[in-house]
């Protein structure tokens, strides 16, 4: 969990740096470079096309495209959750193997690795499977972030009470972004005892505060993207992730009771 906190904080820091540096260059069909040509510009084009469909309503376009991207990534998120559940399920067996081969000599460690891999194959588990969805998602989400920040037409339009290219003057969106971030993490934790894991509790409060701090100074278009993405994640956690984990927990409890 400590590594996860460090990764989250590092990612947000890089986002802040990028917002003040490389994101000042507008994205157009003439932009060059693999990242701009094949990731950022296609997403920028999609935002513009959807906005044109809704009579140049770029705020509504950001909402629709954000939801579209989240739905496209949903199978990856489900796969990641299943992988996490499977790895948790076999942790007792992995622990038993480590205790069995506790010696640090090379032959014993090789035997440990062999039997661990055999266990993964037998149970259909892959320790890298939980990382792959994240690796695939990050370029898409970061590319969409770039597209929002670098599409000039977005900054020239407004939505509801705010200008998309300027920070929310009433700080409503930053506060909602922070609140929804907190709720998403709180629901994800479910009934977990946060006092038993102080790092989880720290992350629960650090993330919303950092989101608010960034959103206060970033264009409102980005805050809108965060809010919509968070609401989707709350729904995904409540209706998909938690039921999957609770089903696994009930299954384990029932199996333990039979024993």
Residue 109 has pLDDT above 50, yes or no: yes
- Looking at the structure of the chain, the number of domains it has is 1
DSSP string spanning 161-215? TEETTS--TT-HHHHHHHHHHHHHHHHHHTT--GGG-HHHHHHHHHHHHHHHHHH
Give the confidence band of 60 by pLDDT, cuts at 50, 70, 90: very high
Residue 12 lies in a domain: no
Residue 29 lies in a domain: yes
Query: Under a CB-based contact definition with an 8 Å cutoff, are residues 69 and 171 in contact?
Result: no
Give the confidence band of 176 by pLDDT, cuts at 50, 70, 90: very high
The pLDDT of 49-66, averaged and rounded, is 92
Question: Cα-flanking dihedrals φ and ψ of residue 243, to 5°?
Answer: -60, -35
Among 54-68, 98-112, 115-129, 235-249, which range has the highest average pLDDT? Answer: 54-68
Residue 5 lies in a domain: no
Residue 120 lies in a domain: no
Continuous segment of H or E residues that includes residue 158: strand 158-159
Q: Tokens for 217?
A: 């100074």
The pLDDT of 148-171, averaged and rounded, is 87
Residue 7 lies in a domain: no
Three-state secondary structure call for residue 245: helix
pLDDT value at position 231?
92
- Per-residue model confidence as pLDDT tens digits over 215-243: 888 888 888 988 998 899 889 888 887 77
Rounded distance, CA 108 to CA 106, Å?
6
Task: Provide Rg for the chain, Cα atoms.
Answer: 22
Residues 6 or more apart in contact with residue 60 via CB below 8 angstroms: 50, 51, 54, 159
Q: What is the mean pLDDT of the chain?
A: 77
Residue 80 lies in a domain: yes
Residue 35 lies in a domain: yes
pLDDT > 90: what percent of the chain? 13
- Domain holding 233, by residue range, is 19-90+125-248
Tell which residue, 223, 228, 207, 74, has the closest CA to residue 136. 74
Give the confidence band of 19 by pLDDT, cuts at 50, 70, 90: very low
Residue 87 has pLDDT above 80, yes or no: no
The least confident of 12-26, 51-65, 131-145 is: 12-26
Continuous segment of H or E residues that includes residue 159: strand 158-159
């Amino acid at each position: 969990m400590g590594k996860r906190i460090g990764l989250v904080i590092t990612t947000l820091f890089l986002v802040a740096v990028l917002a003040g540096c490389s994101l000042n260059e507008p994205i157009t069909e003439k932009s060059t470079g693999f990242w701009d040509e094949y990731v950022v510009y296609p997403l920028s084009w999609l935002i513009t096309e959807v906005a044109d469909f809704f009579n140049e309503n770029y705020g509504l376009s950001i909402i629709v495209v954000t939801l579209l991207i989240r739905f496209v990534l949903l199978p990856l998120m489900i796969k990641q959750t299943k992988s996490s559940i499977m790895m948790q399920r076999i942790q007792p067996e992995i622990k038993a193997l480590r205790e069995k081969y506790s010696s640090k000599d090379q032959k014993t460690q090789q035997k440990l690795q062999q039997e661990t891999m055999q266990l993964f194959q037998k149970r259909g588990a892959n320790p890298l499977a939980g990382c792959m969805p994240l690796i695939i998602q990050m370029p898409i989400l970061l590319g969409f972030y770039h597209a929002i920040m670098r599409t000039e037409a977005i900054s020239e339009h407004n939505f509801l009470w705010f200008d998309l290219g300027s920070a929310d003057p009433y700080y409503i969106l930053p506060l909602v972004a922070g609140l929804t971030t907190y709720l998403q993490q709180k629901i994800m934790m479910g009934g977990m005892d946060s006092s038993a894991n102080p790092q989880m509790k720290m992350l629960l409060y650090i993330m919303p505060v950092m989101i608010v701090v960034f959103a206060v100074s970033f264009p409102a278009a980005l805050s809108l993207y965060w809010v919509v993405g968070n609401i989707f994640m709350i729904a995904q956690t409540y209706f998909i992730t938690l039921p999957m984990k609770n089903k696994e927990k009930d299954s384990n409890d029932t199996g333990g009771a039979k024993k």
